[in-house]
Amino acid sequence: MCGRMALTLPHDAMVQLFGAAPANDLPDSPRYNICPTQAVGVVTSDGGQRRYRPMRWGLVPHWYKTPTDGPLLINARAETIAEKPAFRSAVRERRCLVPISGFYEWTKDARDNRLPWYIHPKDGGALVLAGIWQDWQRGDESLTTLAIVTCAAGAGLDHIHHREPVSLAPDDWAKWLGEEGKGAAPLMQAAPKDRFEAYRVDPAVNSNRAQGPELIEPLDDGGE
């Protein structure tokens, strides 16, 4: 799954990377502990015109009477995304790219303590996740929200967690955005084994209030 993220790269770099027009209300960057319900910058495409714009992390289906009317849908399972009422329209019509620097996952020790890991591309560049999005409105209140697509973890990460976010190589960005026709389903698979570096980080990140570059620094006795 994916429940916390970091974006340390500047928005200008994201705009240049994707050839997208930036919105004026993008969230601050860098951010080292992005949590569900917070805004993240995502890339969408309308007729081939790309936009880099903010969305609230946690998809709100159109039938919710309030944003908290049901479960917080931060992830969408690739195996069932085309069948679930909350996701099936979005995966056909409203796909987006979610560029981040890395994400966090947790294991537990023998005393049931939660041990955070930071996972990021070995090359240090942007990690581009597959997302879906949905507009929601009731009266004067409106939100644009997203969920991140997940799949069974591959050999590179399955020792940490049984799920991982779907990450997209540059050659796949246009197809996921719908700029190159249909056929995005095969993209919803685990990353190659050698894409990621994963290591233990300070448990301070367990608090959703924690911020700062020290959150992504490896522990001296951390993992691989």
DSSP string, 8-27: -S-HHHHHHHHT-EEPS-PP
Task: Out of 3.40.50.300, 1.10.1740.10, 3.90.1680.10, 2.170.16.10, select the CATH number for domain 4-216.
Answer: 3.90.1680.10
Looking at residue 48, its pLDDT comes to: 86
Looking at residue 144, its pLDDT comes to: 98
Looking at residue 124, its pLDDT comes to: 87
How many whole angstroms separate alpha carbon 29 and alpha carbon 91?
28
Low-confidence ranges of the chain (pLDDT < 70): 1, 221-224
How many whole angstroms separate alpha carbon 27 and alpha carbon 7?
11
∠ Cα 41 11 135 (to 5°):
20
How many whole angstroms separate alpha carbon 98 and alpha carbon 89?
19
Looking at residue 223, its pLDDT comes to: 45
Average pLDDT value for the chain: 94
How many whole angstroms separate alpha carbon 185 and alpha carbon 202?
36
CB neighbours of 112 closer than 8 A, spacing ≥ 6? Answer: none
pTM of the predicted protein model? 0.95
**Amino acid symbol at 52:** Y
To the nearest 5 percent, what fractions of the chain are helix, strand and coil?
A: 15, 40, 45
Looking at residue 221, its pLDDT comes to: 61
Looking at residue 181, its pLDDT comes to: 81
Instruction: Find, among 189, 192, 209, 184, the residue nearest to 132 by Cα.
Output: 184
Strands 95-100 and 127-138, sheet pairing: antiparallel
The residues spanned by each domain of the chain are: 4-216
